Structure 1
Amino acid sequence: MSKQRYKELRLLLEREGIRHKEVADMIGMNPARFSQKINRNKSNFTIDEASAICDALDISMDEYFFNKNVSKMKRKLKNG
C-alpha cells in the first residue's frame, strides 16, 4: 500500500472524528501498534487487518488499501 493510501485513511478518520484507539479497539489491535502501522513507522497492515478495518468502518478495501490501477488490471484479466 502506498503512503498516499495510508494518508487517505488517516484523513478519513480525522474527518469522521474517529481516533486511532477506537479503530484499534474495534479490530482487536493494540492502539500503539495500530498507530505505528497507519503512520507507516514499522509495517503495513495485513490483509486480515485491512479487511477488519474496512468492515469496522464500512469502507472499501479497493479505495483505501489497494493500488487502484493494479486492482482494475486484475479484474480485467479475471473477467477478460
Structure 2
Amino acid sequence: MVNVNKLRGKIVENGMSIGELAKKIGIDRSTFYRKLNSNGETFSIKEANLICDVLGLTSEEATVIFFNHSVA
C-alpha cells in the first residue's frame, strides 16, 4: 500500500501539484487522483518508477512511500 501522505508531501516539496505530476508521468489528473484515493493500490510499477524519477526520490524514500505496509 502506498503512503499517500508522504507522496503528497514529496509532491509539494518539489513545488508541483498533483495535476502537474500526473501530466509529467503521462496519465490524466483524474486518474491520478482516483489512484491516490484508493491508497495508491492501483499504481503500476512503471508509474511508480516515473514518479520516483520526476520527484527525484532516493531509494529509501521510494521504499517508504511505495512499500508502506506492516508485517505482523
Both proteins in one fold, TM over 0.5: yes
- Gaps (5+ residues) in structure 1? 71-80
- Gaps (5+ residues) in structure 2? none
Counterpart residue identity of residue 27, structure 1: I
Q: Call closer, same or farther: CA 1:41–1:54 in 2, change over 3 Å.
A: closer
Q: Distance in 1 between matches of 2:15 and 2:53?
A: 18
SS at match of 1:36: helix
Tell me how many residue pairs correspond in the alignment: 68
Match of 2:64 in 1: 63
TM-score by length of 1: 0.67
Q: Which ranges of 4 or more aligned residues in structure 1 deviate by more than 6 Å?
A: none
Q: Distance in 1 between matches of 2:6 and 2:48?
A: 14
Q: Which has the higher helix share?
A: 1
User: Aligned residues: percent identity?
Assistant: 37
Q: Distance in 2 between matches of 1:42 and 1:51?
A: 13
TM-score by length of 2: 0.73
Q: Which of 23-32 and 13-22 deviates more?
A: 13-22
User: How big is the alpha-carbon RMSD for the aligned residues of Structure 1 and Structure 2?
Assistant: 2.5
CA contact (8 A) 1:10 1:38 kept: no
